[in-house]
Structure 1
Amino acid sequence: MELQNNNSLAEIRDELRNEILELKATDFEQLALKIFRYQANCNPVYNQYLRFLNVKADRIGNLTEIPFLPIQFFKNHLVQTGTPPAASAVFQSSGTTGQQTSSHHLFDASLYKDVSTRIFQEHYGDLKHFHILALLPSYLERNNSSLVYMMQHFIESSESEYSGFYLDNVNEMLQKLRFLASNPDGKNILLLGVTFALLNLAESNEDLSFMKHMKNLTIMDTGGMKGRRQELLREEVHDILTRSFSADQIHSEYGMTELLSQGYSHGSGLFVPGFSMRILLRDINDPFSISDHHFSSSKTGGINVIDLANLDSCSFIETQDLGRFGSDPGTFYVMGRFDNSDIRGCNLMVL
């Protein structure tokens, strides 16, 4: 891809942005390769990383050949492609005291909102058909959470007087849930919460028996103990929550500070990535040995994420998560973390 000047750069970027918003599944690989070449040329950090590896962007013809940028680069570098306008937000990961956290600059808020909305609605339906109750105490204590930013947009889009955030006012949230249970209006209800807050609610002395009659209630776990509770297996957490909330399944969201796309699980820990996202797995002992969905579903590998919505940062991220593929192409399970990675608020439980 020849990049001549700022005008042509802006035109290329706008063209890629439009292709992301109009993306069909059959065009994913072609668009991913175009974005790779764009970022290989116009992202200084990624360009330097590729040069260090002696990788020539024009010789890459397959997604499994693309080098993925280690996620740790977001801790001490500004990962930016091209010359976008000033950031409208800077997201930061959570971390314990003394840990260096990741920063992800958001240069195109409307792209993030459009992509995350489309992903959610393709999985669950129109946001206007939802009441959204977000139990996110640890996230709300910060002002730089990408999850809170996304949920604020979802809450506004739902146009529901019952939608909102909850920090310590759990009783108010339960009052709204009880009202919606006894006064159904045909809308769905999404109770989305950070893991430790959902567990605290489940193990409280509150009467939650009314939930068993709420067939339109979806309970979604965003992961993360935030140092508030002992880490548990996802299965253990979901067993507790299904019993306490009388739910058939606990849904989950897979996302993180360094990503602008999400994956969702409708139960059993099996995630389906959004339209702008694809999961590949790398060999645990060789980070440059990367496989697509033909990789054995019984084998665990490091999760690499292609996130096309990261147009202005980097779309090719080597995470510190461990996973395996599901039996259906594109689906995946999150198994935990590499031992040497930081413990922070990424949306999963550790082993």
Structure 2
Amino acid sequence: MRFRDYIDIEQYSLTKEKKNQYFFKLLNDLNNHHLSNSIDHKKISEVYFHKKDEISSVDQVPFLPVSIFKNKLLHSISEENIYKVLKSSGTTGSIPSQIVLDKETAALQTLTLSKIISHVVGKDRLPMMIVDSKSVLKNRKTFTARGAGILGLSIFGKKHLYLLDNDFELLKNELKEFSKKYNGQRVLIFGFTFMVWQYLASVDLDFDIDLSNAILIHSGGWKKLQSLEVDNLTFKKILNNKFKIKPENIYNFYGMVEQVGSVFLENSDGYLHCPNFADILIRDPKNFSILPHGKEGLIQVLSIIPKSYPGHSLLTEDIGVIMGEDDASNGWKGKYFKILGRAKKAEIRGCSDTFNK
């Protein structure tokens, strides 16, 4: 099947057998592309994976530790074709990842993201509230993960309201006007999880907002919320009590700047779900062997989107477990999983050091 035909298949409609048939071939083709165009990827594949001429399954595709993008500017394109460089937001003092995009990969990321998000939002653009400041979009050449997320999701909205000013103060008057105009109507809300909590859920307002038909999409910042003893259920409950947002219309997602465009949306069971364009494997932190469903290990993310850099097969620093496949209660096909936290520093360092010797 051609790549463009695969993109047009309805999201979450592929059973394990069908996805394995199509996804592996596209991923293998992409892997061969990077072997031919990225010296670093070829070197790692040959030295650490003893790459054979033929790869017969997804789990045999060589992977890179996600942390490698903090130390190396990897790309499979010439420097003159670099269109944009994405940077991870990172914590204070940490080194950000840098991801090189050409125009083709940037366009593919936008297209695939639209296929995933429109599956829950619909095709009509909705009035949109963005729980952030416009200031994060200042540099269009070099984006942080937050800026890339906002830009990617903003295409699903219209009449955009950025909820914070340049000093990250809540624009209460603008929010009040938005609520007057769109109370009870279908609207789209996007923000990073901790910011939604801090600047929307936790703010005392002197006016009511009816967001009973709103769709909220959010991601990131769970570590800060855990320190406040706020889990996913509490997060949804507070937003429902305060703004009437239906819990089933609140979608957490898992994604990273290293694979923008391939996001894992929360399904109706509260688990993260693999879209057509991406998949995951769980590996044992000790020997990197594949673990079966129900066993905890390091999450490996796979995507058929990254053409400008070898980000198609990455071993993350997250510990997760696959909860099931093809049997989600909302009818979505594919694997679904949950994240349990970050790997111990020793495990992360051991993996990273292996590829930096």
Q: TM-score when scaled to structure 2?
A: 0.77
Distance 1:192 1:238 in 2: 14
1:30 to 25, 28, 43: 25
- Describe the superposition over 1:30-81 as per-residue Cα deviations: whole angstroms up to 9, x where unpaired: 2112212222332222111112214224232101122211001101112212
Q: Judge conservation of contact 1:155–1:164 (CA < 8 Å) in 2.
A: no
Measure how far apart 1:17 and its partner are: 6.1
Which residue identity lines up with residue 256 of structure 1 in the other structure? M
- Describe the superposition over 1:180-231 as per-residue Cα deviations: whole angstroms up to 9, x where unpaired: 44474xxx312122222222222221257533xx432122221216979946
SS at match of 1:80: coil
- Describe the superposition over 1:119-171 as per-residue Cα deviations: whole angstroms up to 9, x where unpaired: 21133321x3422211135982874224423432543453x22x243333341
SS at match of 1:327: strand
Which residue identity lines up with residue 82 of structure 2 in the other structure? A
SS at match of 1:77: coil
Aligned to 1:55: 50
Aligned to 2:189: 191
Distance 2:223 2:284 in 1: 29
1:150–1:220 Cα change, 3 Å: closer
Aligned to 2:331: none
Q: How does 1:1-351 map to 2 (within 5 A)?
A: 18=4, 21-22=7-8, 25=14, 26=18, 27-83=22-78, 85-108=80-103, 109-126=106-123, 128-137=124-133, 140=136, 143=139, 144-156=143-155, 158=157, 160-161=158-159, 163-167=160-164, 168-172=169-173, 174-182=175-183, 184=185, 188-200=186-198, 201-206=200-205, 210-211=209-210, 214-224=211-221, 230=227, 232=229, 234-235=231-232, 236-249=234-247, 250-260=250-260, 261-266=262-267, 269-287=270-288, 289-291=289-291, 295-297=292-294, 299-314=295-310, 315-329=312-326, 330-340=335-345
Q: Please say which of residues 331-340 and 242-251 is displaced more in the overlay.
A: 242-251
Q: Judge conservation of contact 2:150–2:190 (CA < 8 Å) in 1.
A: no
Q: Judge conservation of contact 2:184–2:213 (CA < 8 Å) in 1.
A: no
Gaps of 5+ in 1: 1-14, 343-351
User: What percent identity do the matched residue pairs reach?
Assistant: 21
Which residue identity lines up with residue 251 of structure 2 in the other structure? H
Distance 1:83 1:115 in 2: 24
Which residue identity lines up with residue 78 of structure 2 in the other structure? T
Measure how far apart 1:251 and its partner are: 1.5
SS at match of 2:209: helix
